[in-house]
Amino acid sequence: MNSPVQIWRSHKNLHNYLGKQGRLLVWTKIFIAPSGFEHQTPYIVGIVEFADKEKLPLQIVDCEEESLKPNQKVKVVIRKIGKVKSEDVIEYGLKAKPL
């Protein structure tokens, strides 16, 4: 587990991406997840390109894989990441939602 200070440091810049729109370049479905994400499988991860040409790998949420298309517009949202125990700090991260 990350310390609360490390989590705060990583969270303090999330607002820079909140609501930012981009386009989905490619995606894949993850069936075998890393530790802490097993409960989310299968899930979709894609590369999102923004207007300033910055590219980020983001989990794609609130859709089915069949509805995704190349160059589809997406919006960045903040969601809980991983699975936390009752004594852990809840971590949030960036994810993409199709428009």
Q: What is the DSSP string of 32-99?
A: SPPTT-GGG-SEEEEEEEETTS-EEEEEE-SS-GGG--TTEEEEEEEEE-S---TTSPPPEEEEEEE-
Q: Which fold has domain 4-98?
A: OB fold (Dihydrolipoamide Acetyltransferase, E2P) (2.40.50)
| pLDDT value of residue 48 | 97
The pLDDT profile of the chain, 99 residues, written as one tens digit per residue, is 567 777 777 777 788 888 899 999 999 999 998 887 788 889 999 999 999 999 999 999 999 999 999 999 999 999 888 666 666 777 788 999 999
Give the DSSP letter of residue 31. Answer: S
Computed over every residue of the chain, the mean pLDDT equals: 87
pLDDT for the residue 92:
83
The domain spans of the chain are 4-98
- What per-residue confidence (pLDDT) applies to 14? 81
Query: Whole-prediction pTM value?
Result: 0.83
